[in-house]
Amino acid sequence: MQIDRSIRPAFYDDESSVVEIFNQGIEERTNAYLKPLDWIPGADWYKSLRNNAAVLIVCEVNGALAGWASLTDYRSGREALAKTKEITFYVHRDFRNKGVASGMIEYLEEECSTKGYKHLVAILLDSNVASRALLEKHGYFVWGLFEGIAEFEDECLGHLYMGKRIIVHR
């Protein structure tokens, strides 16, 4: 079967799909949120993401929203870090291992390169083996670990920082 995959800017109408995919990450404990976002908190979260992201994209596969990704400020307001962005990506569980995350990472890296951003930082739970392996495949390295600081009901997990220097094209 032919896969038609496209990446585009996220729109207001993508809210419910983006929140659904984000909530899957919460349910699967691949981020540090403890409870899925319901209707109003989800809408507020998405509005904040749209307003604060330097770049917010979605990936569609055969017309279905399969994932989303963003570049946001790393340590907002600190001018010395203005050329560093945090990269975030989530893929709907039905579309994993189909190149969705890789496509979005590559797209965002190219955006960084053309916009003059020099470093990308990914912050993930140390138990998120799949995202770590994907980031390593794309040339990211472990830059640090805050061991055991994410407290869940039954365990404490580390916050893993991975990063990559971007080659800027002008």
pLDDT tens-digit series, residues 6-21: 999 999 999 999 999 9
Determine the pLDDT at residue 169: 78
Res 168 pLDDT > 60: yes
Q: Which two tokens stand for residue 88?
A: 């975030």
Determine the pLDDT at residue 26: 97
Three-state DSSP class for residue 147: strand
- Per residue in 19-66, pLDDT tens? 999 999 999 999 999 999 999 999 999 999 999 999 999 999 999 999
Mean pLDDT, range 94-102, rounded to an integer: 96
Determine the pLDDT at residue 49: 97
For domain 5-165, give the CATH number.
Answer: 3.40.630.30
Q: What pTM was estimated for this model as a whole? A: 0.95
Domain ranges of the chain: 5-165
Res 1 pLDDT > 80: no
With bands split at pLDDT 50, 70 and 90, how would you rate the model's confidence at 165? very high
For the chain, what percent of residues have pLDDT higher than 70? 98
Determine the pLDDT at residue 74: 96
Please choose, from the candidates 89, 72, 69, 86, the residue with its C-alpha nearest in 3D space to the C-alpha of residue 161: 86
Residue 170 CB contacts under 8 Å (≥ 6 apart), including other chains = 116
For the chain, what percent of residues have pLDDT higher than 90? 95
**Block residue for tokens 């930082």:** 121
With bands split at pLDDT 50, 70 and 90, how would you rate the model's confidence at 143? very high
Res 4 pLDDT > 80: no
